[in-house]
Amino acid sequence: MTSLPILAPTYTREYRISAKTALETALSSVPAYQTWRRHDRPSADIFARYQAMPVLTKVDLREHQPAEFVPQGRDLAAALARGEVELVKTSGSTSDAVTNVWCQEWWDASEACSWKLHTATESARLGAHREAILASPRCVGFASDVGYLSMEQRTLWNYLFLSEKADPAEWSATFCDRMIEELGRFEPVVFEANPSFLSVLCRHAIKHHRAVYQPAVVTLTYENPSLIHLRHIRSVFSCPVISSYGATESGYVFMQCEAGRLHQNVEHCHVDFQPLAARHGGPAVGRILVTTFHNPWRALLRFDMGDLVRLAAAPCPCGRRQGLTLDAIEGRLANATLSLAGRLVTQREADAAIAEVDGIDQYELVQTGVDTVAVRSVSDTRDPARIEPELRASLQRCYGAAMKITLERVRALSPVLGVKYRLTRADFEIDVDEFLAESP
Ligand SMILES: [Zn+2]
């Protein structure tokens, strides 16, 4: 047993019914879970039944046809023909594409449930609000590699997609000014952004003293924000800046409240937490497996999100008590690295080591071998000769004093395949099973 306090989640009776329905529907009538039935003990507690089940991975999603995740008796081909659902391919930056059945109505309901988790989104009467989006146009919106697109060409319903250019390293000052000017003209209630992309725009605004339109909220999604991004974003936006966590497969899973913790979207999903071994950050740090509720066209059971999270140790001062409460998203397992002693270093931990050094505006850390870490960084404001010894010392405190650190200063950094940045990663494979705590 450990002495580290972990906050036990509380669940309502309605939640237990949703969790039971999701599990039993999948096991009884969804072809992809046919082989899972033998793990079930129907007389056990519902959460023990979940824990007895295997884990669903992206490989499983690729190996099964989308129709195999639809409960029997529902006609996917007919729903596709009616336009009730569509097939959407995800373009993940760390694994191959997965085809998802996309049900807009379910997605919208999941998003609306998540808004209840922060007072600013709860009170903003969201629904048909104007929303500006800044992310890679290869993820959402409209891309143009050659020319520029007009504001009208980048507007769809109540959404304005600010950038048609996928690489922030190539954004000119004029282009950044256009985005700021359009924000002022469009007057969004919500500004949803990839934090890496928004950080580049904010650095431009800071450097050139531009006034930027203030929406009701800025929501950060697509990537786990760096402390450096948050610094840039908060110096430009005085409204609440809220992290929203989810995925195409899962919908909205966690959202940050006004007290800064993340709460589970309990009306929409169940989350199983599997702690890492104590030397790697467990039992507070672990991976999460998501089961979605109420999606008529896709049963997702114990889907491995590929992310590590940190459970809160105490109840959140905001008063929300249901489901899991997180202190932080620790980052993707695919972005984890290892200390010289073989301890898992999450993206959040490596980021904190880099962010404590003043003057770094952007970076990319790659562990090229077990004893070598290479960092490429961008600094607009501070002499690299002063940054380098501080950065080296901070990284050696994190990874071990004998870790070899190579540093390179660059003008700008680009997202992987024009989709997302990977702030940290190892060049070798890290298998989560080696880091999980032993099952009880
Ligand atoms: Zn809270």
CATH assignment at residue 139? 3.40.50.12780
Residues 432, 336: Cα–Cα separation, whole Å: 10
DSSP H helical ranges for 222-333:
227-236
Q: Does residue 197 belong to any structural domain of this protein?
A: yes
Q: Are residues 79 and 216 in the same domain?
A: yes
Provide the number of structural domains found in the chain.
2
Q: What is the full per-residue pLDDT of the chain (440 aa) written as tens digits? A: 444 567 889 999 999 999 999 999 999 999 999 999 999 999 999 999 999 999 999 999 999 999 999 999 999 999 999 999 999 987 654 556 788 899 999 999 999 999 999 999 999 989 889 999 999 999 999 999 999 999 999 999 999 999 999 999 999 999 999 999 999 999 999 999 999 999 999 999 999 999 999 999 999 999 999 999 999 999 999 999 999 999 999 999 999 999 999 999 999 999 999 999 999 999 999 999 999 999 999 999 999 999 999 999 999 999 999 999 999 999 999 999 999 999 999 999 999 999 999 999 999 999 999 999 999 999 998 999 999 999 999 999 999 999 999 999 999 999 998 899 999 999 999 999 999 998 65
Q: How far is the CA of 311 from the centre of ligand 1 (A)?
A: 12
Between the CA of residue 262 and those of 214, 246, 249, 257, 316, what are the distances in Å?
Answer: 23, 12, 19, 6, 9
* CA–CA separation, 223 and 267 (whole Å): 24
CATH number, residue 358: 3.30.300.30
119 CA to centre of ligand 1 in angstroms: 10
pLDDT at 6: 74
Q: Are residues 171 and 276 both part of a single domain?
A: yes
How does DSSP assign 102-161, residue by residue? E-HHHHHHHHHHHGGGSHHHHTTT-SS--EEEES-TTTSS---SSS---TGGGEETTEEE
Asked whether residue 367 is assigned to any structural domain, the reply reads yes
Give residue 76's identity as a one-letter amino acid code. L
Same domain, 286 and 410: no
Same domain, 322 and 354: no
Q: Is residue 372 part of a domain?
A: yes
On whether the CB atoms of residues 309 and 288 are closer than 8 A, the answer is yes
Q: For residues 75, 80, 85 and 90, what is the CA-based torsion angle, rounded to 10 degrees?
A: 110
Q: Residue 33 has what DSSP assignment?
A: G
From the CA of 317, how far away is ligand 1's center (Å)?
Answer: 6
Report pLDDT for 96. 67
Tell me if residue 330 falls in helix, strand or coil: strand
Whether residue 204 is contained in a domain is answered as: yes
Residues 299 and 413 grouped into a single domain: no
Same-domain check for residues 412 and 430: yes
Would you say 215 and 190 are in contact if contact means Cβ atoms under 8 Å apart? Answer: yes
Q: How far is the CA of 292 from the centre of ligand 1 (A)?
A: 22
In the block, tokens 């709460």 appear at 263
Same domain, 364 and 307: no
How far apart (Å, rounded) are the C-alpha atoms in residues 305 and 224? 13
Is-contact 423 415, C-beta < 8 A? Answer: no
C-alpha 380 – ligand 1 centre gap (Å): 35
Instruction: Check whether residue 316 and residue 354 sit in a common domain.
Output: no
Q: How far is the CA of 272 from the centre of ligand 1 (A)?
A: 19
Q: At what angle do helices 227-236 and 195-207 cross, to 10 degrees?
A: 50
Residues in the chain: 440
Boundary residue ending a domain (298, 331, 364): 331
Q: How many CB atoms lie within 10 A of CB 339?
A: 17
Quickly count helices (H) and strands (E) in the chain: 11, 20
Q: Are residues 77 and 224 in the same domain?
A: yes
Q: Which residues contact 59 (CB under 8 A, 6 or more apart)?
A: none
Residue with structure tokens 């786990």?
Answer: 224
User: What is the pLDDT, as a whole number, of residue 428?
Assistant: 96
Find out whether 216 and 239 touch, Cβ atoms under 8 Å.
yes
What sign does the dihedral 190-194-197-203 (CA atoms) show? positive
The CA 103 to ligand 1 mean position distance, Å, reads 29
- Cα 246 to averaged position of ligand 1 atoms, centre (Å): 17
Q: 245 and 135, same structural domain? A: yes
Q: How far is the CA of 261 from the centre of ligand 1 (A)?
A: 5
Cα of 350 vs centre of ligand 1, distance in Å, is 25
Instruction: Classify residue 366: in a domain, yes or no.
Output: yes
Residue at 205 is within a domain: yes
Q: How far does residue 159's CA lie from ligand 1's centre (Å)?
A: 28
Task: Give Rg (Cα) of the chain.
Answer: 22
Q: Please check whether residue 195 is in contact with residue 230, taking contact to mean a CB–CB distance below 8 angstroms.
A: yes
Identify whether the C-beta of residue 239 lies closer than 8 Å to the C-beta of residue 123.
no
The verdict on 326 and 343 lying in the same domain is: no
User: Hey, is 305 helix, strand or coil?
Assistant: strand
Residue where a domain stops, chosen among 331, 353, 384: 331
In a 3-state reduction of DSSP, which class is residue 184? Answer: helix
**Alpha carbon of 116 to ligand 1 centroid (Å):** 11
At which of 310, 331, 352 does a domain end?
331
The encoded tokens of residue 264 equal 């589970």
Query: 310 alpha carbon to ligand 1 midpoint, in Å?
Result: 14
What's the CA-to-centroid distance between 241 and ligand 1, angstroms?
Answer: 14
Determine the distance separating the centroid of ligand 1 and the alpha carbon of 319, expressed in angstroms.
Answer: 6
2 occurs within a structural domain: no
The verdict on residue 7 lying in a domain is no
Spatial distance between the Cα atoms of 327 and 312, rounded to a whole number of angstroms:
5
Q: Residue 350 is part of which domain span? A: 337-434
Same domain? For 169 and 205 the reply is yes
Q: How many CA atoms lie within 13 A of 91 on its CB side?
A: 10
**pLDDT value of residue 1:** 42
